[in-house]
Amino acid sequence: MLAAVTATWARVFESAPPAPDTEFIGAGGHSLLAMRLVAALRPGTGREVSIEDVYRGGTVAGLAERVAAAPPLTDDAVPTGSAPALSAAQRQMWFVEQLTPGTAAHNIALAERLHGPLDVPALRAALEMLADRQEALRWRVPQTGGVPRVVVDPPGDLPFEYTDRTGLGGPEVEQLLDATARTPFDLAGGPLWRARLIRLSPQEHILAVTVHHIVFDGWSWGVLYRDLARGYRRATGADGPAWEPPAGFADYVAWLEGRTGAADRDRAWWTEHLAGAPLVLDLPRDRSRPPVQTFRGADAQARLRPETVARIRALAAEAGATPFAVLLAAFGQQLRRLTGQRDLIVGTPLADRRHAAFEPTIGCFVQVMPLRLTVRDDDGFASHVQRCRDEISAALAHPDLALDRLVQAGGGARDLSRNPVVQVLFNMYGFTGHRLELSGVDARPITPVLPGSLFDLTLYVDEDATGYALRAAYNPDLYDAARIEALLAGYVHLLERLCADPDRPVGAATSRPPDSGLPGWEPLPAPWHGPGLVERIRERAEARPDTVVAEGAGGRLTYRELLAHAAGTAGVVRDAGVTAGQTVAVLAARDVRLPAVLLGVLATGARWLVLDAALPPAARERQLRAAAPRLLIDVADAPAGADGELYAVPAGGRGYLSLTSGTTGEPTLVAAPERPLAHFLDWYPATSGIGADDRFALLAGLGHDPALRDVFTPLVLGARLCVPEQELLRDPARLLAWLAEQRVTVAHLTPQLARLLADAAPAAAALPRLRLVVVGGDQLRYGDVAALRRLAPATRVANMYGATETPQGQAWYEVPPGPGAGDQHPVPVGQGIDGARLLVLDRNGAPAAVGELGDVVIRSRYLAAEPADRFGTPPDPDGADDRLYRTGDLGRFRPDGTVVLAGRSDDQVKIRGFRVELGEVESVLTAHPGVARAAVITAGDGAERTLRAFVVPARTGVRTGELLAHVRAHLGDHAAPADVALLPQLPLTTNGKVDRAALAAVAPHRGGPGATEDPATATERLIAGIWRTVLVRPTLAATDNFFEAGGHSMAAVAAAAQLGRALGREVPVIDLFRCPTVRALAAHLDGGSEEGQLDRGVKRGMERRRRARRTARADLRGATS
């Protein structure tokens, strides 16, 4: 047996006979060589040899022992003369092309630069011999009744084009090759390959071959070159060895079908192996995921340094693994940092050439294996490499995986926006490893064009003579080039760190290169030493005492009157014996005198605490108990104006209090000095370009820190503060009309209020004078920005970020112009303002890399003083005022150094053992076309904990079952809410945020009538009849879901084809995915919208909004007449 193994080893490795102790890994072995070795050993030894035997044996002698112990080979004969048929992988490719007709994503492009005396007729003859010999190159795949079938054309016309481009330059050649590679194929009409010869000079040509993936794979590349070289020798008159016809690809499909027992065992193993694994790996993106996967492609490249390559090979040898396992394990570490997931599925292709008969056959033999990688931050990298080695070995031992059948067994609708199970692929493959040898001609490979991206991201590793080259293929509809370039740079850096110290815990390694250009621990700018708030307003008042500074609820107020009321308030505070540092509670109302009362309290050195009169009395009582004020001033009964100057204690001794609810819901006092507020009011106008001609609106919740931005910004500028009546804040349509009437130019909004105003707008450009909107307080999305720009076409939109403990705002991002309607991707919160830095820190407290999920921390000189539990200091503080605030938010750096939020670190809950991010569930719900707003809360505790979702429909006809299926398709069953309640609008707190306590009081949705309604219309009956035939179901209700009733992608194609014939028009298969119930599809095909099961409360709410819009139109007409 040792002699047989030795001889086979030498033949496969194309080397001299090895010594018994020669190691497979040490000799350069990898998965493809292991596959070839098994394919050769099985018929040669008559034993059931597996890939696992190759890896476990380790050496020539070890492999011989395992082969000798293997059971005898059962009948493994390859059938011959099989009828052409598609494999499961090919059927999946065909289905993708039905969804995205005209795509070039499946094109595989090869190109060679040929130098020397090329015999063009001989090359053409060699190509004809190639097509004659390889049956798959003569395939076409038409369809009958929505079912694909294979047609093999007889040898005939060659898809060959000869182009004379003598003198063509390099860039023009690249454009020509790109166009050749990106031209799509017609699957039904064929041919599915083409060759193009470009003449550059008598001695210089380029041969470009493009093949559809449905008849080709990476292994086929080498077969094509070998057959082409052999044919060229024959065509030029040279002798060659006998040319036996290879097994046909149809024989491979038949051979697979005959392995049902092995396939069933392997599928059971994979089902158990992947149980509980997250089936979505969503890398940080630059824009929202399109509802249907686009497969567009772009790529970025990098190289590993020679010393890193040496360490990879050494570590692989020590671990008894291949370099592939080392590189893949490191890629898993990178993905863990980008996604925050420790349990990952990464795909890798398997060239299924287990039988020696298929080695010389061109065809699509590839299968995608979903490898499950588990990252343990406290383990060393060496142990991760060993686990990765074992995962690869176990997967290779179960190669009979039909991924599409595994997906179908899981049930549910297919998510058209991404691949099922595998969205990220890792492929160690030699793009330039195959050599074309044409006698008398020097052929040099040209790096091939990647026409598309079949996955969100594919990382290719190409081993060449100088080491490893990296190539990332990605979808530019998801990612910008800068993000992928940063991902590659991070991977290279992380790989170097992990291999340099493989026993160190992997969580301690950083993927942030030293030249990342991201914010870090660099010193802050010098401190700001400008005037205080009282001094700035007093100076403005002295210059323009009779200028009206506030108007609206409560009357009008000039600067002279403002200072008089402030002086009167200061007198009341002093007369009450309140000293500096003690608390004065201000019961606030929307009244023009509010700024004066606050200014008067501030001048005395006492600290105001604003209580919102709109809050329930019980809530105000809790706030009063927390603050224990010495004095309570009611703005509605504000002190009268006083003569004389407003005296103020020095600015350094002034400050104020705010309240935050924290994680307990109980009020927590936040003490802030005046300096952060004064600094902000100096920085903000200079950055935003606002001035004395602007008009501001008091829209923030009065007890909320952003109200100070509304109140004091116009006062320091000499601008105008417009104060609405409180009831206007409860009626978006009336508030919108008021904003237009008041000619407001600057508005500070929460995202929720922005959405309500946009929804209430009777028409576009309802606020033509609004020129700046600053949004804060919650997650802003690009769809919100687009809605605001429709509302106010002249406006600039900025996203501001901060917390009560970081007064006003510590980060700023002005949203550039661009489309975004319906885009639910989050807008960045930007970078730190002057004197502040917005950081993302990894689990070790170090600045994170681009895209790495981490804790958002604000480093600033302008923070609150108390409470101290979330404050800290940087590693090398630049003075006592250089401090850190841990926001509790999660976020990521973008390549430009701005930060995008990614939920809350305390917003993650466990549902049945799975970690669920509430914000992620909300985002998925909001991405559904039938949803305008969504909020998710938890109910119950421990094992009884569930999710509850609350949805504001964007249209009638929205069904809760459809929304639950949407969540399951994107996030899995564990993230699906236990119930979905449809509401006319989400309740808001006085601060403009979603009132989750009010949502918790909403009764659970128990479903509506009609769950088993029979099809009612002619179209519904037609659809139900066709679905019953396709799905072999005796009955179907109008509300039944095609996929939940047993449908899958190929069944959907058949149903769409039959329905199209019955209606006499094309029915795109994508319609079945977008409208998966009988009733929804019928409504779509009939040109209407499904009249849904909205409860009466929702309908009443929508009717109220319609009436409000009509009222707003009337108000606007009156305001502009």
How much of the chain exceeds pLDDT 90, in percent?
55
CA 545 to chain centre: 54
Q: How far is Cα 596 from Cα 566, in angstroms, rounded to an integer? A: 5
At 339-374, the pLDDT tens digits run 999 999 999 998 888 888 898 999 999 989 999 999
Q: Around 668, how many Cα atoms within 13 Å sit in the side-chain half-sphere? A: 15
Residue type, 1000: A
Mean pLDDT of all residues in 973-997: 80
Q: How far is Cα 181 from Cα 106, in angstroms, rounded to an integer? A: 10
Among 969, 957, 954, residue whose Cα is nearest residue 1080: 957
pLDDT band at 182 (very low <50, low <70, confident <90, very high): very high
Residue type, 157: D
At 910-948, the pLDDT tens digits run 565 455 778 878 888 988 888 888 999 888 765 457 888
Q: How far is Cα 847 from Cα 884, in angstroms, rounded to an integer? A: 13
In the DSSP assignment, the letter for residue 633 is: E
Mean pLDDT of all residues in 703-727: 94
990 against 903, higher pLDDT: 903
Does the pLDDT value for residue 414 go beyond 80? Answer: no
At 444-499, the pLDDT tens digits run 999 888 899 999 999 999 888 788 999 999 999 999 999 999 999 999 999 999 99
Q: 1019 and 1085 in contact (C-beta within 8 Å)?
A: yes
Among 894, 891, 924, residue whose Cα is nearest residue 340: 891
601 against 74, higher pLDDT: 601
Domains of the chain and CATH, by start: 2-69 (1.10.1200.10), 88-251 (3.30.559.10), 275-508 (3.30.559.30), 907-1000 (3.30.300.30), 1018-1085 (1.10.1200.10)
Q: Can you give the pLDDT at residue 996? A: 81
Mean pLDDT of the chain: 87
| pTM assigned to the model | 0.84
Q: Can you give the pLDDT at residue 291? A: 81
Burial of 847 (0-12, 13-18, 19+ CB in 10 A): buried
At 987-1044, the pLDDT tens digits run 887 667 788 877 887 767 544 333 457 888 999 999 999 998 888 888 888 888 887 7
Residue type, 248: G
Please count the other Cβ atoms lying within 10 Å of the Cβ belonging to residue 85: 17
Helix (H, G, I), strand (E, B) or coil at 815: coil
799 against 659, higher pLDDT: 799
Q: 234 and 240 in contact (C-beta within 8 Å)?
A: yes
Q: How far is Cα 287 from Cα 474, in angstroms, rounded to an integer? A: 14
Token couple for 330: 């490191």
919 against 509, higher pLDDT: 509
Token couple for 459: 């990382």
Token couple for 1066: 């094309």
Q: What is the DSSP string of 67-98?
A: HHHSPBP---PPP-SPPP---HHHHHHHHHHH
Give the position of tokens 């308030």.
569
Task: Tell me the CA distances in angstroms from 947 to 29, 919, 980, one per residue in order.
Answer: 50, 12, 9
Q: How far is Cα 134 from Cα 868, in angstroms, rounded to an integer? A: 74
Among 952, 924, 959, residue whose Cα is nearest residue 759: 952
Q: Can you give the pLDDT at residue 74? A: 74
Mean pLDDT of all residues in 135-162: 92
Residue type, 861: R
At 515-557, the pLDDT tens digits run 999 999 999 999 999 999 999 999 999 999 999 999 999 999 9
At 849-888, the pLDDT tens digits run 999 999 999 999 999 987 777 899 999 898 889 999 999 8
Mean pLDDT of all residues in 719-731: 93
Among 531, 986, 489, residue whose Cα is nearest residue 755: 986
Mean pLDDT of all residues in 197-223: 95
pLDDT band at 795 (very low <50, low <70, confident <90, very high): very high
Q: Around 328, how many Cα atoms within 13 Å sit in the side-chain half-sphere? A: 31
Length, in residues, of the chain: 1121
Beta bridge partners of 7: none
At 80-105, the pLDDT tens digits run 889 999 998 999 899 889 888 889 99
> Among the listed ranges 598-612, 777-791, 1105-1119, which one has the minimum average pLDDT value?
1105-1119
Could you give the residue ranges of the DSSP H alpha helices within 947-1017? 960-971, 996-1000
Mean pLDDT of all residues in 806-826: 86
List of residues 6+ apart from 57 with CB closer than 8 A = 24, 63, 64, 65, 66, 67
40 against 154, higher pLDDT: 154
H or E element at residue 301: strand 298-303
Q: 916 and 909 in contact (C-beta within 8 Å)?
A: yes
Task: Tell me the CA distances in angstroms from 425 to 222, 367, 461, 695, 851, one per residue in order.
Answer: 22, 12, 11, 54, 18
Does the pLDDT value for residue 247 go beyond 80? Answer: yes
Cis peptide before 867 (omega within 30 of 0): yes
Among 354, 346, 345, residue whose Cα is nearest residue 35: 354
Q: How far is Cα 626 from Cα 733, in angstroms, rounded to an integer? A: 37
Task: Tell me the CA distances in angstroms from 52 to 123, 390, 881, one per residue in order.
Answer: 42, 10, 62
Does the pLDDT value for residue 618 go beyond 50? Answer: yes
Does the pLDDT value for residue 720 go beyond 70? Answer: yes
Please count the other Cβ atoms lying within 10 Å of the Cβ belonging to residue 503: 9
Among positive and negative, which fits the CA dihedral 737, 743, 745, 748?
negative
Task: Tell me the CA distances in angstroms from 122 to 117, 126, 258, 980, one per residue in order.
Answer: 12, 6, 41, 69
Please count the other Cβ atoms lying within 10 Å of the Cβ belonging to residue 214: 27
Which strand ranges, in their side-by-side order, compose the sheet holding 555-558?
555-558, 548-552, 720-723, 695-697, 746-749, 772-775, 796-803, 806-814, 831-832
Helix (H, G, I), strand (E, B) or coil at 788: helix
Burial of 913 (0-12, 13-18, 19+ CB in 10 A): exposed
Burial of 131 (0-12, 13-18, 19+ CB in 10 A): buried
Does the pLDDT value for residue 567 go beyond 70? Answer: yes
Among 437, 465, 428, 433, residue whose Cα is nearest residue 447: 433
Q: Can you give the pLDDT at residue 34? A: 81
Does the pLDDT value for residue 1106 go beyond 80? Answer: no
Beta bridge partners of 746: 696, 772
Task: Tell me the CA distances in angstroms from 687 to 577, 789, 798, 898, one per residue in order.
Answer: 41, 20, 11, 17
Could you give the residue ranges of the DSSP H alpha helices within 215-259? 218-235, 249-257
Residue 832 φ then ψ, to 5°: -65, 150
Q: How far is Cα 782 from Cα 932, in angstroms, rounded to an integer? A: 14
Does the pLDDT value for residue 386 go beyond 60? Answer: yes
Residue type, 28: G
Q: Can you give the pLDDT at residue 617? A: 84
CA 591 to chain centre: 45
For 713-748, give the secondary structure using H, E and C: HHHHHCCEEEECCHHHHHCHHHHHHHHHHCCCCEEE
Beta bridge partners of 872: 884
Please count the other Cβ atoms lying within 10 Å of the Cβ belonging to residue 81: 8
Q: Can you give the pLDDT at residue 603? A: 95
Q: 72 and 237 in contact (C-beta within 8 Å)?
A: no
